Amino acid sequence: MAGRVLITGASRGIGAAAARLFAREGWDVAINYNSSREAARRLAAELSGLEVRAVPIRADVSDPEQAEGLVREAEFSLGGLDCVVCNAGIALPQQLLTDTKVEQWRRLMSADLDGMFYVLKAAIPGLVRQKRGAIVTVSSMWGLTGGSCEAAYSAAKAGVIGLTKALAKELGPSNIRVNCVAPGVVATDMNGHLTPQDLAALKEETPLGRIGAPEEAAQAVVFLASDRASFITGQVLNVDGGMVI
């Protein structure tokens, strides 16, 4: 059954692909963005053509007040929420832990982990009142395996998995499911810095022999949000072409 979903970081990449898939399935969508205003507005206009409500909402999720304001505005615009997708995230340049500046560590944690806490803290009371809902978080294969020269990112993404599992236990009795998607290498701006040689090496390491498309990660998000996953909670679904088996 279609419902009302807030997706953080939906202006580009996996979040934007998820917004399109939700809308195609009839969901109303709140499209959160931080800096990509035009992209978010264009996406909202595109989705409105599918006869669903699609509202772009600016908020930096790493700021607790903006995160709370985002949830309130999404609830107001869509008349409530049935699902929250915590997808917004950033990565740092690949570097040794010892070269990572304190400011970089804090910025990464704020965007990728703290932001999830702020958004969910604001959204959960509404879901609990309805006694129904779904939460989908977006981690990474590095949150499962750890990535060399990706310590801050790996730590934040492992935190996302811990948060997902804890919340699945906490919110199950309120009929709220909480699951996580852990993508491998997906062709988005986040990987724009990779050289053709890097990409070739990553493909080589991947059993399916290629990089994923944002829509492929988004399919898993929409599945876990939907009633098709009605008895699934606390799970991490890898969408990585077999990179982590």
Tell me phi and psi for residue 180, to 5 degrees.
-130, 140
Could you tell me the CA-to-CA distances from 205 to 70, 157, 209 in Å, in that order? 39, 21, 7
127 or 138: whose CB is closer to ligand NAP? Answer: 138
Mode of pairing for the β-strands spanning 236-239 and 28-33: unpaired
d(CA 93, CA 100): 9
31: β partners: 7, 56
Could you tell me the CA-to-CA distances from 112 to 8, 11, 138 in Å, in that order? 11, 16, 9
CB of 114 to ligand NAP, least distance (A): 9
33 labelled catalytic: no
Binding site for ligand NAP (CB under 6 A): 8-15, 32-36, 60-62, 87-90, 111, 115, 138, 140, 183, 185-186, 188-191
CB of 62 to ligand NAP, least distance (A): 4
90 or 149: whose CB is closer to ligand NAP? Answer: 90
10 or 74: whose CB is closer to ligand NAP? Answer: 10
E strand or H helix at 199: helix 196-205
CB of 174 to ligand NAP, least distance (A): 25
Catalytic-role residue among 22, 27, 142, 153: 153
145 or 230: whose CB is closer to ligand NAP? Answer: 145
CB of 13 to ligand NAP, least distance (A): 2
Catalytic residues: 153
